Amino acid sequence: MIQVAFYDIAEESLFDFAVIIAIKEGKWILCRHKDRRTWEFPGGHRDPGEWIEDTARRELYEETGAEHYTLQPVCAYSCLRQGEKASFGMLYYAQVDELGPLPAFEIEEVKLYDKFPEKKDFWTYPDIQPFLLRKVSGLGIK
């Protein structure tokens, strides 16, 4: 079991990854990795020396083809698995105006969802993604 905690502020150097909860035309944008059957929000690990906002912008483009959008930080968060060190991420919200062609990286498919299936095997990270979605939904977004 993974514990997810949210923070209003965190040191930039702590961030390992960025996750972007993105919406286009009132629908959630999800992506599916080539090696998986499950769905996830765009996001990924930060490259060495990269600012976390640049990570979010890069990952949003690489995983969805998003070309025109507004991006805003939501909060920092951590994921802690028993017996392991916590990892920290930055959660963002994006309002996407235009999706271009999907770059030839690791993502196989991008879909827009009004609502999510209640299947247990829908999410790639079922112990994390619903918490992130609730955090953004709690802000009155969508």
What's the token pair of residue 46? 């930060």
pLDDT at residue 45, rounded to an integer: 96
Mean pLDDT of 8-14: 87
Confidence of residue 40 (pLDDT cuts 50, 70, 90): very high
Q: What is the pLDDT of residue 142?
A: 61
Q: Which two tokens stand for residue 118?
A: 């209640």
Structure tokens at 95: 């309002």
From CA 42, how far away is CA 49, in angstroms rounded? 21
pTM: 0.93
CATH architecture of 2-137: Alpha-Beta Complex (3.90)
C-alpha distances (whole Å) from 17 to each of 7, 14, 123 are 15, 9, 18
Residue 80 has pLDDT above 70, yes or no: yes
